[in-house]
Amino acid sequence: MNAHSARRSTRWLPDPATVDEYRTFFATAARNPAMLGAATPTSSAVAATVAQVVPTTGTPVVVELGPGTGSLSCGIQERLPQGARHVGIELNEDLVAHLRTHKPWLEVVHGNAEELHKVLADLQIDRVDAVVSSIPWSLLPDDTQDHILGQVADALVPHGAFTALTYLTALYREGGKKFRRRLGATFDEVLTHTTWLNFPPALHYLCRRPLSVDKRVITSA
Ligand SMILES: C[S@@+](CC[C@H](N)C(=O)[O-])C[C@H]1O[C@@H](n2cnc3c(N)ncnc32)[C@H](O)[C@@H]1O
Q: Is the CB of 70 under 6 A from ligand 1?
A: no
* Ligand 1 contact via 66 beta carbon (within 6 Å): yes
Measure the CA–CA gap between 99 and 20, rounded to whole angstroms: 11
pLDDT tens-digit profile of 66-112?
Answer: 999 999 999 999 999 999 999 999 999 999 999 999 999 999 999 99
Q: What is the pLDDT of residues 138-173, one digit of tens each?
A: 999 999 999 999 999 999 999 999 999 998 888 889
pTM of the model: 0.88
Among 62, 92, 108, say which to mutate for ligand 1: greatest number of ligand atoms within 8 Å of CB.
92
Average pLDDT over residues 23-36: 70
Give the whole-angstrom CA distance, residue 106 versus residue 53. Answer: 17
Categorize the per-residue pLDDT at 16 as very low, low, confident or very high, splitting at 50, 70 and 90.
confident
Candidates 18, 22, 25, 35: which one to mutate for ligand 1, based on the most atoms within 8 Å of Cβ?
Answer: 35
Domains and CATH numbers, the chain: 3-215 (3.40.50.150)
Selection from 189, 191, 171, 179 nearest residue 218 by Cα: 179
Q: Is 128 in the pocket of ligand 1 (CB under 6 A)?
A: no
Distance 18 CA to ligand 1 centre (A): 18
Over residues 111-120, mean pLDDT:
98
